[in-house]
Amino acid sequence: MRRWYKVLLPTVLFVLWLLLNESMSAGQVVVGLVLALWLGYASSRLRPLRSRPHKLWLLFGLARRVVVDIIRSNFEVARLILARRRPYTPGYVHIPLDLHDPHGRALLGCILTYTPGTVWVDVSNNVLTLHVLDLENEEFWIELVKTRYERTLMEVFQ
């Protein structure tokens, strides 16, 4: 299983090279193969911390949830800004994190920042500070992050 991870990046780079060049000529194949192997090796040397994910199939469900949440949030933020029926109340939520893996935290940060209306501000002492555009219920956001995202990320990365 460990060897599979070592060939994943070079394989993706090689296929991407061929797709971007729209050619399967011998020259493009050789150049793509050399670049993919060299960049795969060089990038592995830059990573001091190795990730050991488990249960990768859970990431497909997480990705689906994130896409749905991003779409919903886009509509909610647009409705909030365009309607202007009531003033929205931005605020900060402090969420205690049980996720300790740096790769899982990085992915959680991407998820929360990609979702319109929320921004990952800080994490210190295992407490995440999240800025929310319209903060009505702090408990809702704590429950959302912990059950919808953090639980799955903990199963994958810890």
Return the domain boundaries, the chain: 2-46, 58-157
Task: Say yes or no to pLDDT of 51 above 80.
Answer: no
Q: Residue 80 has what pLDDT?
A: 85
| SS3 (DSSP) at 92 | strand
- What is the mean predicted confidence (pLDDT) over 82-103? 86
pTM of the model as a whole = 0.71
The residue among 43, 42, 21 whose CA lies nearest residue 31 is 21
Identity of the amino acid at 55: K
Please give the pLDDT value at position 48: 66
Instruction: For CA atoms 94, 138, 112, 61, give the dihedral sign.
Output: positive
Output the pLDDT for position 87. 77
In tens, the pLDDT along 55-67 reads 888 889 999 999 9
Question: Order of strands across the sheet with 127-132?
Answer: 91-96, 127-132, 118-124
Closest CA relative to residue 103, chosen from 48, 141, 40: 48
Please tell me which residue, 137 or 49, carries the higher pLDDT value.
Answer: 137
